[in-house]
Chains A and B, each alone.
Chain A
Amino acid sequence: MKLIIAIIKPFKVEEVKEALAGAGIEGMTVTEVKGFGRQKGHTEIYRGSEYTVDFLPKVKIEVAVSDETAAKAVDTIAKAAKTGKIGDGKIFVLPLEEVVRIRTDERGEAAV
């Protein structure tokens, strides 16, 4: 099993969600986060005062999937979140040791 963590542009969340649903992957956790990569921040000016804003708003999506669907999920997210411009984000794939569905106590792939 894999845990896929994708950091994407906030306005791409809906598209990614629908693309994943279209690929048969259900369930995700979404968090509003801040950060920067190569895009860096931007400058804001208030009258004479200039401030560099280092951390830009992004959305973090977490999806747990079985080993065989992992590649498809990553491709789906990457395709839906892509604008081709700097700041599109990153996808991390991590090994996942155990999953528990709390209601039924199912374990492993059955719980994904």
Chain B
Amino acid sequence: MTRPRPRLLKTLACLLAAGLSAGSLLAQAPAAPAAPPPPAPSLEQRIAGLEAYMNNTDPSAPLKVGPKDKDGNPTIPAGLTTPSVGIAGPGHNGFMMICAALVLFMTLPGLALFYGGLVRTKNVLSVMAQCLGIAGLVTIIWWAVGYSLVFGKSFNSPFLGGTEFFFLAGVDSVPNTDYAAWVSQNVFAMYQLMFAIITPALIVGAIAERMKFSALLLFVTLWMFVVYIPLAHMVWGVTGFMNGVWNSGASIKAIDFAGGTVVHMSSGWSALVLCLILGPRLGFGKTPMPPHSLVLCMIGTGMLWVGWYGFNAGSAVAADGVASNAFATTTLAAGVASFAWGALEYFTRGKASVLGFCSGAVAGLVVVTPACGFITPGSSVPLGILAGAIPFFACTKLKQMLKYDDALDTFGVHAVGGTLGALLSGVFANASVNSNLNTNLKEIVGKSLLLEQVKAVALTLALSVVATVILAFIVKAIVGLRPTVEAEQEGLDITDHGEEGYIYEAKS
């Protein structure tokens, strides 16, 4: 330690004194006549605002002590606020930024590797280009109108959001309390964007190795507007048609925690229809088309599983107890389903395969997606067993019987799994792990909720199938769906993208 220098200290003291007197002079300057000072919040109101952070509730609720509005609800007196209102809560907000990154990680590179490994060498880049192309395309759509059409409410419509957030206008770091009390709206918008990216990217699996890049991008653009955006608003929008948890006026009082209907059913059923319209790959059933790298596929599966925590736990839109429960149910369902699929292989054909374990893990994650925040960990075990068994049957038996060329089993895993998950959510939902089920659904949870789930499944299925038929024929008429026979034989990597995935030796 150095000895303090008396001279320097004296100088500092003088400066400080000068500053203070200047400040008091300013304070004494005559102020312009202003409105009366805003009412100050009481200590209780300020503490209640802080406690709202712990409980993930609205921090402005304790301030609603003013005159009642036309609906009879108390309002906040003009100007009354606390430091907790209108800001993001660090824990919840930080958690959601990480979750958003995890969900993006599911597509890039998780899904790209999972699918890329399952195609033949000559098409590995085409699958990756499709994932990347969709990521950029959907980002632009989401920024321009997508977020607003899903999460706005100016239309006050059960089917579409509104125009108020076009070009992300006003979407800043202040939370949108319709969806999250403590998460910045810009973080929420980016988090939801990642869902909008992975959903159409899932379709790639069914049409892999035989659809033109231009055709896919055009199809996805149309599909986002006709299927994803309306469906996401119906299920998650605060005025949504099927948002049973948050919209007391929902026509179908269904539940979907992280996207069983919106993400997996919509993409899976659309994928089946598109693959039927597209027709099988050249030589399907005659020439062998084994996966070119199960190693890549396995790496992608691991990334999907890790990323899925952002998808499922993050769908609580808070780092709260509901997220914790979703984290636990997600883990159990994935582990059990993976093991169940491997075990079924072992007992039916004598060998448990890596692709089997991978498929089972993904199927378990798909099935638990709509349920994860509503069911107990105990329920997630039987759910996991069914998630291993039923998609296993769809991928190994149903596909052989019906002979459609769902190249990478998007239908078998995502449509079958998503549908199963939506139904099982109705069976296993339990308000003891998520009190939000008591808000609008207290009367039907454990009773007629399954019926509501059936209605949601039927609507999702109908919308996906009908829209995809129409859109596929529109795209066919405009740019055509398939590459030429020569291009398909040579591989889409070279013909659509002008590159090769693997060049082991320098060409001389």
Spell out A's residues near B (CB within 8 Å).
44-49, 51-53
Task: Pick the most buried of B351, B353, B397: most chain A CB atoms within 10 A of its CB.
Answer: B353
B67 at the interface (CB under 8 A from A): no
Cβ contacts under 8 Å, B397 to chain A: 48
Cβ contacts under 8 Å, B118 to chain A: 46
CB-nearest residue of chain A relative to B288?
A51
B290 at the interface (CB under 8 A from A): yes
Interface residue from B290, B396, B412 paired with A44 (Cβ < 8 Å) = B290
CB-nearest residue of chain B relative to A52?
B288
CB-nearest residue of chain B relative to A47?
B395
Q: Which 3 pairs, one residue from A and one from B, show the smallest C-beta to C-beta distance?
A: A48-B396, A51-B288, A47-B395
Interface residue from A45, A48, A49, A52 paired with B289 (Cβ < 8 Å) = A49
Cβ contacts under 8 Å, A49 to chain B: 289-290
Please measure, in the bound complex, the distance between the C-alpha atom of A16 and the C-alpha atom of B375, giving whole angstroms: 62
Interface residue from B355, B400, B412 paired with A46 (Cβ < 8 Å) = B355
Given contacts A47-B396, A47-B409, 9 further A-B contacts (CB under 8 A): A45-B353, A46-B290, A46-B291, A47-B356, A47-B412, A48-B396, A51-B289, A51-B290, A52-B288
Please measure, in the bound complex, the distance between the C-alpha atom of A62 and the C-alpha atom of B92, giving whole angstroms: 68
Please measure, in the bound complex, the distance between the C-alpha atom of A46 and the C-alpha atom of B297, giving whole angstroms: 12
Please measure, in the bound complex, the distance between the C-alpha atom of A48 and the C-alpha atom of B355, giving whole angstroms: 11
Please measure, in the bound complex, the distance between the C-alpha atom of A47 and the C-alpha atom of B118, giving whole angstroms: 11
Cβ contacts under 8 Å, B412 to chain A: 47
Please measure, in the bound complex, the distance between the C-alpha atom of A47 and the C-alpha atom of B348, giving whole angstroms: 12
B476 at the interface (CB under 8 A from A): no
Decide if B290 touches A48 in the complex (CB within 8 Å).
Answer: no
SS class, residues of chain B in contact with chain A: helix
Please measure, in the bound complex, the distance between the C-alpha atom of A45 and the C-alpha atom of B349, giving whole angstroms: 9
Please measure, in the bound complex, the distance between the C-alpha atom of A46 and the C-alpha atom of B412, giving whole angstroms: 14
Cβ contacts under 8 Å, B353 to chain A: 45-46
Cβ contacts under 8 Å, B455 to chain A: none
Q: In whole Å, how far is B420's beta carbon from the nearest beta carbon of chain A?
A: 17
Decide if B400 touches A48 in the complex (CB within 8 Å).
Answer: yes
Cβ contacts under 8 Å, B400 to chain A: 48
Please measure, in the bound complex, the distance between the C-alpha atom of A53 and the C-alpha atom of B290, giving whole angstroms: 10
B199 at the interface (CB under 8 A from A): no
Cβ contacts under 8 Å, A47 to chain B: 355-356, 359, 395-396, 399, 409, 412
CB-nearest residue of chain B relative to A48?
B396
Q: In whole Å, how far is A5's beta carbon from the nearest beta carbon of chain B?
A: 26
Q: In whole Å, how far is A111's beta carbon from the nearest beta carbon of chain B?
A: 30
CB-nearest residue of chain A relative to B407?
A49
Contact with A along B106-137 (1 / 0, CB 8 A): 00000000000010000000000000000000
Please measure, in the bound complex, the distance between the C-alpha atom of A51 and the C-alpha atom of B396, giving whole angstroms: 14
CB-nearest residue of chain A relative to B398?
A48
CB-nearest residue of chain A relative to B395?
A47
Contact with A along B374-404 (1 / 0, CB 8 A): 0000000000000000000001110110000
Please measure, in the bound complex, the distance between the C-alpha atom of A46 and the C-alpha atom of B400, giving whole angstroms: 12
Please measure, in the bound complex, the distance between the C-alpha atom of A17 and the C-alpha atom of B102, giving whole angstroms: 51
Q: In whole Å, how far is B197's beta carbon from the nearest beta carbon of chain A?
A: 26
Q: In whole Å, how far is A41's beta carbon from the nearest beta carbon of chain B?
A: 11
Please measure, in the bound complex, the distance between the C-alpha atom of A48 and the C-alpha atom of B353, giving whole angstroms: 12
Cβ contacts under 8 Å, A48 to chain B: 395-397, 399-400
Cβ contacts under 8 Å, A51 to chain B: 288-290
Cβ contacts under 8 Å, A46 to chain B: 118, 290-291, 353, 355
Please measure, in the bound complex, the distance between the C-alpha atom of A89 and the C-alpha atom of B357, giving whole angstroms: 35
Cβ contacts under 8 Å, B351 to chain A: 45
CB-nearest residue of chain A relative to B358?
A47
356-371 of chain B: CB within 8 A of chain A: 356, 359
Q: In whole Å, how far is B56's beta carbon from the nearest beta carbon of chain A?
A: 41
**Interchain residue pairs with CB less than 8 A apart (19):** A45-B351, A46-B118, A46-B291, A46-B353, A47-B355, A47-B359, A47-B395, A47-B412, A48-B395, A48-B396, A48-B397, A48-B399, A48-B400, A49-B289, A49-B290, A51-B289, A51-B290, A52-B288, A53-B288
Contact with A along B271-310 (1 / 0, CB 8 A): 0000000000000000011110000000000000000000
Q: In whole Å, how far is B290's beta carbon from the nearest beta carbon of chain A?
A: 5
CB-nearest residue of chain A relative to B401?
A48
Please measure, in the bound complex, the distance between the C-alpha atom of A48 and the C-alpha atom of B285, giving whole angstroms: 12
Please measure, in the bound complex, the distance between the C-alpha atom of A44 and the C-alpha atom of B291, giving whole angstroms: 11
Please measure, in the bound complex, the distance between the C-alpha atom of A97 and the C-alpha atom of B397, giving whole angstroms: 59
CB-nearest residue of chain A relative to B354?
A46
CB-nearest residue of chain A relative to B409?
A47
Task: Pick the most buried of A47, A51, A52: most chain B CB atoms within 10 A of its CB.
Answer: A47
Cβ contacts under 8 Å, B399 to chain A: 47-48
Cβ contacts under 8 Å, B288 to chain A: 51-53
Cβ contacts under 8 Å, B356 to chain A: 47
Cβ contacts under 8 Å, A45 to chain B: 349, 351, 353
Contact with A along B36-60 (1 / 0, CB 8 A): 0000000000000000000000000
Cβ contacts under 8 Å, B395 to chain A: 47-48
CB-nearest residue of chain B relative to A45?
B349
Please measure, in the bound complex, the distance between the C-alpha atom of A28 and the C-alpha atom of B359, giving whole angstroms: 45
Q: In whole Å, how far is B276's beta carbon from the nearest beta carbon of chain A?
A: 17
Please measure, in the bound complex, the distance between the C-alpha atom of A47 and the C-alpha atom of B289, giving whole angstroms: 12
Please measure, in the bound complex, the distance between the C-alpha atom of A51 and the C-alpha atom of B283, giving whole angstroms: 13
Please measure, in the bound complex, the distance between the C-alpha atom of A57 and the C-alpha atom of B46, giving whole angstroms: 74
Q: In whole Å, how far is B260's beta carbon from the nearest beta carbon of chain A?
A: 22
Cβ contacts under 8 Å, B359 to chain A: 47
Please measure, in the bound complex, the distance between the C-alpha atom of A66 and the C-alpha atom of B255, giving whole angstroms: 82
CB-nearest residue of chain B relative to A54?
B288
